Chains A and B, each alone.
Chain A
Amino acid sequence: AQKVTQAQTEISVVEKEDVTLDCVYETRDTTYYLFWYKQPPSGELVFLIRRNSFDEQNEISGRYSWNFQKSTSSFNFTITASQVVDSAVYFCALVGGTSYGKLTFGQGTILTVHP
Chain B
Amino acid sequence: EAGVAQSPRYKIIEKRQSVAFWCNPISGHATLYWYQQILGQGPKLLIQFQNNGVVDDSQLPKDRFSAERLKGVDSTLKIQPAKLEDSAVYLCASSSTRNYGYTFGSGTRLTVV
Give CA–CA (A102, B32) in the complex, Å.
10
Q: How many residues of B contact A (CB 8 A)?
A: 27
Q: Return the contact of B43 from the options A33, A50, A100, A105 (Cβ within 8 A).
A: A105
Q: Inside 8 A of B45's CB, which chain A residues have their CB?
A: 102-104
Stretch at the interface among A41-49, A54-62, A69-77: A41-49
Residues of A within 8 A of B101 (CB): 50
**CB within 8 Å of A: which of B62-113?**
89, 91, 93, 95, 98, 100-107, 109
Given A101-B48, A105-B42, is A50 in contact with B107 using a C-beta cutoff of 8 Å? no
Give the chain A neighbours of B43 by CB distance below 8 A.
Answer: 45, 91, 103, 105
B106 touches A101 (CB 8 A): no
Chain B residues within an 8 Å CB radius of A104: 45
CB distance from A53 to the nearest CB of B (A): 11
Q: Is the CB of B42 within 8 A of A100?
A: no
Tell me which of B41, B42, B98, B102 has the highest count of chain A C-beta atoms within 10 A of its own C-beta: B42
